[in-house]
Structure 1
Amino acid sequence: MQKTKGLLGNIGIQVVIAMIIGTLVGIAMGESAAVFAPLGSIFIHLIKMLVIPLVAVAIISGAAGLGNSHAAGRVGLTTLGFFGLTSAVAVALALAMGEIFQPGIGIDFSSVSAMYEGNLAAKGELPTFWATMIGMIPTNVFSSLNDGNILQILVFCLFFGIGLSKVEAARSKPLIDGINTVVDAFVWMINVVMKIAPIGVFGLMAEAVGTFGFAALSTVMNLFLVYVATILIYGFLFYPAMIKTLTRIPVNKFISAMKKPQAVALSTASSMATLPVTMDVCEKELGIRNSTSSFVLPLGATINMSGNAIYYGLVAVFFAQAFHVDLGLGAYVAIILTSTLGAVGQAGVPGPSFLVVAVLLAAGIPIEGLPLLFALDRIFDMIRTALNITGDAVCAAIVDEMAGEVPQSQQQDAIDLR
């Protein structure tokens, strides 16, 4: 009895139960389940209220902590290299799965032709390299904070945090301590908001399932099944293999610890909204240092999107097969490159992934059927977000292991925690 009560008191278990109940209510009520939408909206608004300032101060804190470290350069390069490499591997796996199981064979999109938007191609234009670089630099950081421009906030806060680390310790320590105090305050606020997470999750799931249901999904069921299988392979084979090979964290412990942030990611479909939970689990349950998690996880929530890369690659193969387009080596290279760049550039917030248009255009694949997938994007987004935040945690664990600048006594404490 006591064990059951303890399980029900776990926020992760509560969120999963809420997801199941919300799904059942959505199926039973159909579109009228939208009446529960305000519950999800309130939860998401509370999270969004706190996430931007939390990300800002967490990145400053992490960058300041790493700035004076001899491993700072290695940490940054390892983090960015991990994100790029894992995204490329993810889309390569997606292409392989698509060719093996051929989910697009025999699909008829005539029933969704009326949904086609003539201006859809314009939404798939990728900015040039220099446009992207210039766009990352804020001209007014307060406007960036107000607009929620995550990449600009990241650039400024990283720069500012490193700048703080270069100021003599006697002068910078009080400010850094103050920033760390603000981080702790935001974490407390997030924990309070998370107490109503099951209610918000129920509202989100009831609305999503009730509005779109699984009827629309039946047209692309083969794609959905291959997509889920690819996500599971990557999340439960590839990432655990990296944990086992490159860290000292037991694989079972890592998988168990990630259940809570994965449940939140599934329900919110937002890496940014899940960030506080991911940070809390990485530090308290996996023994990852705050300086590492504060740097890697906010960065990962913004630019590490292996789940999106899988989605882009599979959708490309799916539509190529549906429209009888033969993909050559050049098309595959174009898909991998565009998917990787698109995944890195995708903001960590829920919403239709118009970057998939760029992937299809790059490979010369028709885009007529995409509106159907946009209608179902919430369902796909929930699943890929869970993989994205898992990748963030894997990267944090690997970077923490490679930084290797912890006194022996602290290393032993970390191992004991694990």
Structure 2
Amino acid sequence: MNLTKPIIIALILGIVVGIGLNLMGSNVFNPVDTYLLTPLGQIFLRLIQMMVIPIVVISIILGTAGLGDPKKLGRIGGKTIGFFLISTTIAIIIAMSLAFIVQPGEQGLLDEEAANFEATEAPPIIDTLINIIPTNPIQAMVEGEMLQVIMFSIFIGFGLALLGKKTDKVHKLFEQGFELVMFLIMIIMYTAPFGAFGLIASAVGGTGFDAISSMLAYFLVVLAALLIHAGITYSAVVKFLAKKNPIWFFKNFLPAISVAFGTASSGATLPVSMSTAQKRLGVRKSVSGFVQPLGATINMDGTAIMQGVATVFIAQVYAQDLSMTQILTVVIVAVLASIGTAAVPGVGLVMLAMVLNQVGLPVEAIGLILGVDRLLDMTRTAVNITGDAACALWVSETEEAEPDSDSEEESAPQPS
């Protein structure tokens, strides 16, 4: 299915309709949003989210089992986590540098008394690390605890790899389950243009011009940092590490990027991003099945960029200078906070509260950026999943070429 054009058309149409409804006022927008736009978006999101746990469990089990040699699993795991940590660090350095240069918080457009945000306490990093190991895997699946689900799936895949032929039938069952899940996702994707239209129209219509204009400097700095990171950092990874053409990469990964922009959820986009990486980028199924679900949980470059810019922005609004120690603290905490961040819309605000607490800035100031956060959330989600795909492509290209035995799909041409 070539859904890229319909999705992009739906996004553009949604923006136009959202602006039109906003201009007509809340009396027109609210009923249309309640009875048409929100249901369209939520139906699509629920259909996709329904498949997230099955695709994560099955793909990571198959990916881990497909890697076979425990040494190879450790090597690929080390590459993946190392890439994510370095990439997130680069992202937040770009964000904070740009924020210090442009100084969006000193534009005189905001009244900090308008800030109104009730912070949800973020869990300590040590608790996050301990909680990676589930006490009840089924409960973890029910509650959507993705790190626990991933840990359990890796454990099962590791067992299948060591047992080899003794568990051939179990391995075959998971392979058949994967084919079934991917087929169902293909059917669900027919609703993607309608879901994208509803989601973007609701977001644009509810934001309004006042919120955007008052936050224009902050909005543009975050957007610029996201584009610089995607256009330079990821292009460099694709060009110099994966030895591929960046234009080819972005062109072929565009269907997943457009879905990520519409849903603002790395988790909801995961089935689409995996399918796109495997079929259009030629990433091996075993690598894609391991790297991309892991990335959807711990690789949040876009969220780190928002946290970096927002911290500097809020410090400038409140006329507080950040010391070099505080700046380093923001970088370290934002990188660590990305581990275990739920792949759902808006969770970056919770993690931002954790960052602000560490540097002594008022958490309630998050209310200043709420007006445009939904639109930025969509963009940073697209950046997040693009980073996952770039990492998967690099790992796939640098590991020994061992084609997946059950893969019959022909990938798109891969020029250097």
Shared fold (TM-score, shorter chain, > 0.5): yes
1:195 to 190, 194, 205: 190
Matches for 1:6-405 after TM superposition, within 5 Å = 10-30=2-22, 31-32=29-30, 33-34=32-33, 35=35, 36-68=37-69, 70-107=71-108, 109-110=110-111, 113=113, 115-117=115-117, 119-120=118-119, 123-129=120-126, 131-167=127-163, 169-352=164-347, 353-405=349-401
Task: Look up the equivalent residue of 1:97 and give its one-letter code.
Answer: L
Shift in Å, 1:182: 0.6
Identify if the C-alpha distance between structure 1 residues 236 and 314 changes in structure 2 by more than 3 Å, giving closer, same or farther: same
Instruction: Compute the RMSD of aligned alpha carbons.
Output: 2.0
Task: Look up the equivalent residue of 2:394 and give its one-letter code.
Answer: I
- Distance in structure 2 (CA, Å) of the matches to 1:291 and 1:21: 38
Q: Aligned with 2:339: secondary structure?
A: helix
- Distance in structure 1 (CA, Å) of the matches to 2:149 and 2:232: 34
Q: Is the 8 A contact 2:51 2:271 kept in 1?
A: no
- Distance in structure 1 (CA, Å) of the matches to 2:317 and 2:57: 44
Number of residue pairs the alignment of both structures matches: 401
Shift in Å, 1:248: 2.7
For 1:183-242, what per-residue CA distance to the aligned partner results, in whole angstroms no more than 9, with x for missing partners? 111111111111011011111111111112232122211011111111111111111111
Task: Look up the equivalent residue of 2:2 and give its one-letter code.
Answer: N
Shift in Å, 1:371: 1.5
Identify if the C-alpha distance between structure 1 residues 170 and 125 changes in structure 2 by more than 3 Å, giving closer, same or farther: closer
- Distance in structure 1 (CA, Å) of the matches to 2:5 and 2:328: 42
Q: Is the 8 A contact 1:74 1:403 kept in 2?
A: no
TM-score normalized by the length of structure 2? 0.92
For 1:79-117, what per-residue CA distance to the aligned partner results, in whole angstroms no more than 9, with x for missing partners? 00011110011101111101111111133543x635524
Identify if the C-alpha distance between structure 1 residues 415 and 258 changes in structure 2 by more than 3 Å, giving closer, same or farther: closer
TM-score normalized by the length of structure 1? 0.91
Runs of 5+ consecutive residues of structure 1 not aligned to the other structure = 1-8
For 1:54-80, what per-residue CA distance to the aligned partner results, in whole angstroms no more than 9, with x for missing partners? 111111111111132642211000000
Identify if the C-alpha distance between structure 1 residues 75 and 19 changes in structure 2 by more than 3 Å, giving closer, same or farther: same
Identify if the C-alpha distance between structure 1 residues 152 and 27 changes in structure 2 by more than 3 Å, giving closer, same or farther: same
**In terms of mean alpha carbon deviation, does 274-283 or 228-237 score higher?**
274-283
Q: Aligned with 1:195: secondary structure?
A: helix
Q: Aligned with 1:278: secondary structure?
A: helix
Counting aligned pairs with the same residue, the percent is 38
Task: Look up the equivalent residue of 1:192 and give its one-letter code.
Answer: I
Q: Is the 8 A contact 1:113 1:368 kept in 2?
A: no
- Distance in structure 2 (CA, Å) of the matches to 1:385 and 1:94: 16
Q: Is the 8 A contact 2:234 2:390 kept in 1?
A: yes
Identify if the C-alpha distance between structure 1 residues 374 and 124 changes in structure 2 by more than 3 Å, giving closer, same or farther: farther
- Distance in structure 1 (CA, Å) of the matches to 2:243 and 2:162: 32
Q: Aligned with 2:195: secondary structure?
A: helix
Q: Aligned with 2:361: secondary structure?
A: coil
Shift in Å, 1:403: 1.8
For 1:131-188, what per-residue CA distance to the aligned partner results, in whole angstroms no more than 9, with x for missing partners? 1222211111111111111111011111111111111x22222211210111111111
- Distance in structure 2 (CA, Å) of the matches to 1:292 and 1:360: 36
Identify if the C-alpha distance between structure 1 residues 342 and 107 changes in structure 2 by more than 3 Å, giving closer, same or farther: farther
Q: Is the 8 A contact 2:58 2:178 kept in 1?
A: yes
- Distance in structure 1 (CA, Å) of the matches to 2:241 and 2:290: 19
Shift in Å, 1:332: 0.6
Runs of 5+ consecutive residues of structure 2 not aligned to the other structure = 23-28
Q: Aligned with 1:376: secondary structure?
A: helix
Task: Look up the equivalent residue of 2:192 and give its one-letter code.
Answer: A
